[in-house]
Amino acid sequence: MSSLSQHAHAHDDAHDVEHAHSQSVFGFWAYLMTDCVLFASLFATFAMFAMQTAGGPTPKQLFDLTDVGYETALLLMSSLTFGFAMISAHRRKQPMVLAWLGVTFLLGAGFLYLELHEFAHLIAEQAGPNRSAFWSAFFTLVGTHGLHVTFGMIWMLVLMVQMVMKTGTDERRLRRLACLSLFWHFLDIVWICVFSFVYLGSMA
């Protein structure tokens, strides 16, 4: 009876862990839905002010699609490397998880560097957020995405430190990594929309 009781208790613990994992992921999906509403509002605002440059510089004059293409490539690659990190995590290969997360972090840093470089160039060309409705909407939308990427990178660093320090259980760390994975891939999708709607659409 004692053995059966221990087995039942272990089964209940495993069920509780799985239930907690499902609740956490579902809760994070709910958060992503609110972020979808946020970005949808920003896209709608940008659409309202499209080409309203108040006689100032136009996107056709200032946008460099080559640099934006590099930004897009870096973010797409970072989604791929994060996928490899998740595969390694499910296989319980922590060194590989840390390695792939490190590569993902560097790709994200490269993306942010190019984005900040673009912002600096636009401001130097008198196309800052206070220049016109178009540029204000542009900086708000693209800057909000950049802030999300920054937050994701900070979150990534925290998870890497927790893995090295072995803080919490393996299941809890995997759950947090799964939530960050959803967040990171979501940012990738948003950026594809930014690239298509904001950059390519403004150059048409």
Q: Give residue 166's pLDDT.
A: 80
103-136 tens-digit pLDDT: 999 999 999 999 999 999 999 999 999 989 999 9
Residue type at 128 in one-letter notation: G
Mapping DSSP to helix (H, G, I), strand (E, B) and coil, where does residue 37 land?
A: helix
- Token pair of 197, please? 């709607």
Residue 142 scores a pLDDT above 90: yes
Q: Which residues are within 8 A (CB) of 6 and not within 5 positions of it... i.e. 6 or more apart?
A: none
181-194 as b/e: b if 16+ CB within 10 A = bebbebbbebbeeb
Please, what CATH class does the domain formed by 32-203 belong to? mainly alpha
| Surface-to-core class of residue 74, CB atoms within 10 Å of its CB (0-12 exposed, 13-18 middle, 19+ buried) | buried
DSSP string, 131-161: T-HHHHHHHHHHHHHHHHHHHHHHHHHHHHH
From CA 140, how far away is CA 119, in angstroms rounded? Answer: 11
49-83 tens-digit pLDDT: 988 888 888 889 899 899 999 999 999 999 999 99
Map out the domains of the chain as residue ranges.
Answer: 32-203
